[in-house]
Structure 1
Amino acid sequence: MGKIIAIANQKGGVGKTTTSVNLAASLGALEKKVLLIDADPQANATSGLGIDVESVEAGTYQILEHTVTPQDAALECSAPNVDLIPAHIDLVAIEIELVDKENREYMLKQALASVKDQYDYIIIDCAPSLGLLTLNALTAADSVVIPIQCEYFALEGLGKLLNTIKSVQKIHNPNLDIEGLLLTMYDSRLRLSNQVVDEVQKHFNDMVFETVIQRNVKLSEAPSFGESIINYDAASKGASNYLSLAQEIIQKNSNN
């Protein structure tokens, strides 16, 4: 039975897509079968894995509408053992189209029921908002990874996200778990980075992943080549950080 993990934070620029793509690729490199779902209309996870967004005919939009099955929408991408359900800018319209539908929060959950057994992990890259798309992801997910940037306003908005997760647990998905808080864009030379790490660990202690994602030029370069960090530069700090995160998640889930 595959585990569905949503990567969510309504703040933009915290490393959600970087984490979704590279966690999926790292799990794939560790011989897990992975499905990555791009649930962000910006479609950065799609282009970041070498798929031309304009050529996408079936993707997250169609599986939310239930006009295509996830099996038919899934594409092979540049990362080994990873299939991708791509996004397209048309995903922007889905929130309006789903508004009148019954059980609108459960569309993704229903669609994924048919493929859950075919993958070890299903990773959902959420949009930077707490709208209906993210709600669908949280309702479908078993757990959520929350990337937190090691910067001044790091904890701003986190309370709002945790409240959203609480209400999803109460109303739509009692089994939703927080997989962990992931510190990203860490620069050991900056006092501020170290302060944020200390503060997050102090407030949330065992909810925080041991792995910290460091600032790494290669991580920012990889998407422009349509590759994950594992393919682009397996020897980089970014690759070893994400492999370590993947191992931490595998370890955690094998103990449960």
Structure 2
Amino acid sequence: LIDCAPSLGPITRSGLAAADLVFLVVELSALSIRGAEAVLEVVDEVWSELNPNLDIGGVIVNRSPSASVEANRQEESLNRLMGKQSVWHPFVPQRTVLNEAVGYRKPVHDLGYRAKDLLGIFDALYKNLIQVSEFPPET
């Protein structure tokens, strides 16, 4: 797993040249969707010039608001851009406890009852990642 900063510079391109799959993390906002379009252009360039085995593994939606007309509109835009099958569910909701997990440098599983509803979301995304990546199952 190669985690690159949110930029499209030489480090990210090198990571893409060495990778088999790309997983995009986006928010349901116009700027984030435009960013995903730019990433796809770079993925296309790397695919054609450096790494013909590179493929899109999926799209993970982060910081999804609980109810928003604009977010629904951007979800439709994302589905058109990526294909509905590529956009993973469930979405990671916008929650303060997630910011706290990062701040405390702890996994969300360690934050108790306030994160209880998030555990299933992260577990489902993890299972999807393992399945798509064809990693051997944990023993």
Normalized against structure 1, the TM-score is what? 0.47
**Map of 1:179 onto structure 2:** 57
**Map of 1:8 onto structure 2:** none
Cα pair distance change 1:151/1:160, threshold 3 Å: closer
CA contact (8 A) 1:214 1:237 kept: no
CA contact (8 A) 1:187 1:193 kept: yes
Map Cα deviations across residues 228-249 of structure 1 (whole Å, 9 max, x no partner): 2123347433332221111122
Which secondary structure does the structure 1 equivalent of 2:45 belong to?
Answer: helix
The structure 1 residue matched to 2:111, chosen from 232, 243, 247, is 232
CA contact (8 A) 1:211 1:245 kept: yes
- 1:203-222 matches, within 5 Å, as 203=81, 204-222=83-101
CA contact (8 A) 1:218 1:238 kept: no
Cα pair distance change 1:129/1:187, threshold 3 Å: same
Larger proportion of strand: 1
* CA distance in structure 2 between the aligned counterparts of 1:237 and 1:132, rounded to whole angstroms: 38
Which secondary structure does the structure 1 equivalent of 2:3 belong to?
Answer: strand
Rg larger in structure: 1
Cα pair distance change 1:223/1:157, threshold 3 Å: closer
Q: CA RMSD in A?
A: 1.9
* CA distance in structure 2 between the aligned counterparts of 1:247 and 1:225, rounded to whole angstroms: 25
- 1:113-124 matches, within 5 Å, as 123-124=1-2
**Map of 1:16 onto structure 2:** none
Larger proportion of helix: 2
- Larger RCO (CA under 8 A, 6+ residues apart): 1
Shift of 1:184: 1.3
Map Cα deviations across residues 159-216 of structure 1 (whole Å, 9 max, x no partner): 2211110111112211111011111111122211122122212332222112211111
**Map of 1:65 onto structure 2:** none
Which secondary structure does the structure 1 equivalent of 2:22 belong to?
Answer: strand
**Map of 2:74 onto structure 1:** 196
Which secondary structure does the structure 2 equivalent of 1:210 belong to?
Answer: coil
Question: Is 1:151 matched up with 2:29?
Answer: yes
Percent identity between the aligned chains? 26
CA contact (8 A) 1:216 1:238 kept: no
Deviates more, 1:164-173 or 1:197-206: 197-206
- 1:83-162 matches, within 5 Å, as 123-162=1-40
CA contact (8 A) 1:211 1:241 kept: yes
**Map of 2:132 onto structure 1:** 252
Which secondary structure does the structure 2 equivalent of 1:180 belong to?
Answer: strand
Unaligned runs of 5+ in 2: 135-139
Shift of 1:149: 0.6
CA contact (8 A) 2:25 2:62 kept: yes
CA contact (8 A) 1:148 1:184 kept: yes
CA contact (8 A) 1:218 1:233 kept: no
Shift of 1:253: 4.1
Shift of 1:153: 2.2
